[in-house]
A and B are shown apart, each in its own frame.
Chain A
Amino acid sequence: MPIPTKAASPNQAMTVITLMPEQTIRDIDTLHAELLAGLDAKAGVRLAAAELVQVDTATVQLLCAFMLESRQREVEVEWDTPSETLLLTARLLGVSEVLALERPSSVIGLAP
């Protein structure tokens, strides 16, 4: 289910950036270039992350930079079915709110 940051324009197609199942520093240059181009997308960007099963901090950091800058430039960004892995990783790194993936959750994990 998409988690919108802002309603996408109904008239123009959003630029879709699909995250690979294993999205790590190994292929970060490609994603970096795609996200940079995405900042110029007039109709906004849809981040497709349904298939994502492995993601590292470098990638999450890149996504954070993208999200912060897209807000400054008022580029619409929405998530298309972010995978459980992405949600958990964002929570673990404390960036769920920055990535607009869910409400901030101050404490994760169960008390022993």
Chain B
Amino acid sequence: MSLDLKQFQTTFFEESFEALDGMELALLELRPGEIDAECVNTIFRAAHSIKGGAGMFGFAEVTSFTHAAETYLDALRGGCLPVSQPGIDALLKSVDLLRSMLSSVQQGHAIDAQPATALQSELERLLHASDPQDGAGVESGRRAPAAAGLGCAAKPQPCGWRIEFKPHAALFQQGNDPVRLFGELQRLGALEPSVELGHLPTLATMNSELCYLAWDLKVHGESAQADVEEIFEWVADDCQVVIQALDPAGAAQSSQSAPLATAECAANSIASRQEISAPQARQGESGSIRVGIEKIDELINKVSELVITQSMLTELGGGGGGTGGNLLQTGLERLERNTRDLQESVMRMRMLPINVVFSRFPRMVHDLSRTLGKQVDLVLRGEQTELDKTVLEKIGDPLVHLLRNAIDHGIEAPETRRRLGKPEAGCLKLEAFHKSGSITIRLSDDGSGLDCKKILTKAKSAGLVGDEELSDEATCDLIFLPGLSTAEKTTDLSGRGVGMDVVRKNIRALGGSIEVSSEPGRGTTFSISLPLTLAIMDGQSVALGDESYIIPLVSIVESLQPKPELVETVAKRGEVFLFRGVYVPILHLDEVFATRSKARSPGEGLIVIVESEGRRFGILVDELLGQQQIVIKSLEQNYRKVEGISGATILSGGSVALILDIPELLRIAHERGAADRQCIG
């Protein structure tokens, strides 16, 4: 068995990106001139953790730059530097740079040293600029001298440290390597290593991936205890470390030689143990583990199979009578309940808090509002609301677009707001909550609102609507049509007439919907409704010949038996049906899928009216079979992509039913000439 260190690097990258997100959020909380020790500590810990991990994996550029940022943060933490806006900006830039550096390392690309050098110089300049004495003594490689140079009260340092380092057997398997730790120690001062070989087994019996060695190390020189501790912090979970101060003779201070110092040393040692053990305790308390998504999906698949098997058993066992039959029925009911509970629990494993997406917005709003010279307060609510991972990954971009639009076009400049009697700072509220079995994300601003008159004029001139009168609600909805923008000037951010149609399209692709409401001068609100998950859905099963198909319930407007007099045939355009005063095209599924249906004309079957992208059409089916929650299986992964089909599911009888892809069928209907836009409502 050979060990793949990549898995540990993957964890390091994941944790580092998370730490950077946390660092960024905390930086955005900082206010110039105010001291928020907890906030600064959070930022410092994030930088510190990245530095430790980067050092462990030998990412020297990342370690070096993080060290520079950490030096600045340490001065902030120690109260030697005031919190300043240039400092916050430089640290935010540091977060961006570290993200970029880590991405480069992750992808195996070389790191461009120039930006790091420039930003490192800026941090050092800021550090010196605040030095009331002479600015000297700030050494980028060391934290303690930096603090000393800034007039911080420095404790007298001992002349070195003795470190008892006893790795756990699994140290190597966790991706840790003492060579790197000792290399870091050597940078603090002359290193005197003494190895303990007593536990080394014979070559034939040893497991070469386990660690059997231990060390007694001495580091000479005036380094700070925190510097020694930080080197071992990354491996705290995988070793036992005791750090003691060395006396001038080079011996660890002991009760025989220095009784007074012993208490201090003992205290130091205890403090070391406690501080180094802290991450372990934190990890233990977090109550979560990292699991690969593919493992969860495999589990979901297995449970889905179980649900199907259980449904089959219920059908088979349903007809039995007598005592045995009753017992079987009771058992089957219990099995059904337990299986459903298990399925729900497993599905929840794919759920993540929406904060995964929301957390990037404070920085974005901060940067955009500065660029545009606006003041914007972002209020986040319901960050812990959970959504399926796939939905979360795909909802980010539409939300970014809506937020950018709101800041660029919705919220007015401070002077305009003052003139209008509004607070200078605009308010953007982004909230998530459960509603009717779905998740609603609502984005509201207190800006100028949509100009319905202008939207209607633009839409008419672009030929998107006729001369009919539209309600304000319907007019606002026009912003989701392709090619409509009311922005007077295009900016880098928005107003190019593309985007809102894509936003709606992306949200619909997730099985969701978006609505907009606006009040002139009071602001605009977008409400997005999303399914909790993409792995299961509510569907209507329909029969077509000998086959069953599933129509997503969310797409269905109505199902009906059409009166023959309401069906018309348009030359070369197929059949249309008068539905609520508007003609909608009828799609014959048997023609699309080259199958046989019993109903040859609308009068012989049923029409299911469906809606996609604001357009409606009817699907002719033989009969409706029933509604049920279905588990979606990928057809592409198991077979191949089939036009007009989005996936498949297994019905309780064990047969396979195909799930209709309504947007795709609309496109097919359109291509076949059945979807004459003049006829569509």
Partners in one complex: yes
A89 x B192 contact (CB < 8 A): no
Chain B, 196-212, contact with A by CB distance < 8 Å: what is the 0/1 string?
01001111101011011
CA distance in complex: A2, B259 (Å): 51
A29 x B203 contact (CB < 8 A): no
Chain A, 46-75, contact with B by CB distance < 8 Å: what is the 0/1 string?
000000000111101110111011000000
A93 x B209 contact (CB < 8 A): no
A58 and B195 in contact (CB under 8 A), knowing A28-B3, A89-B179, A111-B220? no
- Closest approach, in angstroms, between the C-beta of A44 and any C-beta of chain B? 16
In the complex, chain A residues 91-112 whose Cβ is within 8 Å of any chain B Cβ:
92-95, 98, 106-112
B208 x A111 contact (CB < 8 A): no
A92 x B203 contact (CB < 8 A): no
Contacts of A110 in B (CB 8 A): 190
Contacts of B179 in A (CB 8 A): 55-57, 60, 89, 92-93
- Closest approach, in angstroms, between the C-beta of B376 and any C-beta of chain A? 49
Contacts of A25 in B (CB 8 A): 2-3, 5, 172, 208-209
Selected from B204, B213, B220, the residue in CB contact (under 8 A) with A36 is B204
Selected from A28, A56, A89, A92, the residue in CB contact (under 8 A) with B2 is A28
CA distance in complex: A26, B178 (Å): 16
Residue positions of B touching A, CB distance < 8 A: 1-5, 172, 177-179, 182-183, 186, 188-195, 197, 200-204, 206, 208-209, 211-213, 215, 220-223
B3 x A35 contact (CB < 8 A): no
- Closest approach, in angstroms, between the C-beta of A26 and any C-beta of chain B? 5
Contacts of A64 in B (CB 8 A): 197, 200, 213
A57 x B3 contact (CB < 8 A): no
- Closest approach, in angstroms, between the C-beta of A70 and any C-beta of chain B? 9
CA distance in complex: A37, B186 (Å): 36
Chain A minimum-CB-distance residue to B193: A94
Residue positions of A touching B, CB distance < 8 A: 24-29, 31-32, 35-36, 39, 55-58, 60-62, 64-66, 68-69, 89, 92-95, 98, 106-112
A57 x B194 contact (CB < 8 A): no
B177 x A109 contact (CB < 8 A): no
B200 x A92 contact (CB < 8 A): no
CA distance in complex: A107, B190 (Å): 6
Chain A minimum-CB-distance residue to B207: A32
CA distance in complex: A29, B2 (Å): 7
Contacts of B221 in A (CB 8 A): 111-112
Selected from A29, A55, A89, the residue in CB contact (under 8 A) with B1 is A29
B203 x A26 contact (CB < 8 A): no
Among all A-B residue pairs, the 6 with the closest Cβ atoms: A94-B193, A94-B195, A109-B186, A109-B190, A112-B221, A28-B208
A112 x B222 contact (CB < 8 A): yes
**In terms of DSSP, what is the predominant structure of the interface of chain A?**
helix
Contacts of A65 in B (CB 8 A): 200-203, 206
Contacts of B186 in A (CB 8 A): 92, 108-109
A61 x B213 contact (CB < 8 A): yes
Contacts of A66 in B (CB 8 A): 203
15 examples of A-B residue contacts, CB within 8 angstroms: A25-B172, A56-B177, A56-B179, A58-B209, A61-B212, A64-B197, A65-B202, A92-B191, A93-B178, A95-B195, A106-B192, A107-B220, A108-B186, A108-B192, A109-B190
CA distance in complex: A56, B171 (Å): 12
B190 x A62 contact (CB < 8 A): no
Selected from A69, A93, A109, the residue in CB contact (under 8 A) with B195 is A93
Contacts of A92 in B (CB 8 A): 179, 182-183, 186, 191, 193
CA distance in complex: A62, B186 (Å): 24
B203 x A109 contact (CB < 8 A): no
- Closest approach, in angstroms, between the C-beta of A17 and any C-beta of chain B? 13
- Closest approach, in angstroms, between the C-beta of A56 and any C-beta of chain B? 5
CA distance in complex: A109, B223 (Å): 14
Contacts of B211 in A (CB 8 A): 57-58, 61
CA distance in complex: A66, B194 (Å): 19
Contacts of B194 in A (CB 8 A): 94
Residue from the set B186, B203, B206, B221 with the largest chain A CB neighbour count within 10 Å: B203
Contacts of A29 in B (CB 8 A): 1-2, 208
A108 x B190 contact (CB < 8 A): yes
CA distance in complex: A92, B177 (Å): 12
Contacts of B213 in A (CB 8 A): 57, 61, 64, 93
Selected from A62, A89, A93, the residue in CB contact (under 8 A) with B208 is A62
Contacts of B1 in A (CB 8 A): 29
A61 x B200 contact (CB < 8 A): yes
A98 and B195 in contact (CB under 8 A), knowing A64-B200, A65-B201, A107-B220? yes
- Closest approach, in angstroms, between the C-beta of B89 and any C-beta of chain A? 34
Known: A94-B193, A95-B195, A108-B192. 14 other contacts (CB 8 A): A57-B179, A57-B211, A61-B208, A65-B203, A69-B202, A92-B179, A92-B182, A92-B193, A93-B193, A93-B195, A106-B192, A108-B193, A111-B190, A112-B223
A69 and B203 in contact (CB under 8 A), knowing A58-B172, A64-B197, A111-B220? yes
CA distance in complex: A108, B223 (Å): 16
Contacts of B190 in A (CB 8 A): 107-111
CA distance in complex: A64, B179 (Å): 15
B192 x A107 contact (CB < 8 A): yes
Contacts of A111 in B (CB 8 A): 189-190, 220-221
CA distance in complex: A57, B201 (Å): 16
- Closest approach, in angstroms, between the C-beta of B673 and any C-beta of chain A? 62
CA distance in complex: A89, B177 (Å): 11
A32 x B208 contact (CB < 8 A): yes
CA distance in complex: A47, B206 (Å): 20
Contacts of A107 in B (CB 8 A): 190-192, 220
Contacts of B193 in A (CB 8 A): 92-94, 108
Contacts of B182 in A (CB 8 A): 92-93
CA distance in complex: A56, B3 (Å): 13
Chain A minimum-CB-distance residue to B223: A112
Contacts of B191 in A (CB 8 A): 92, 107-109
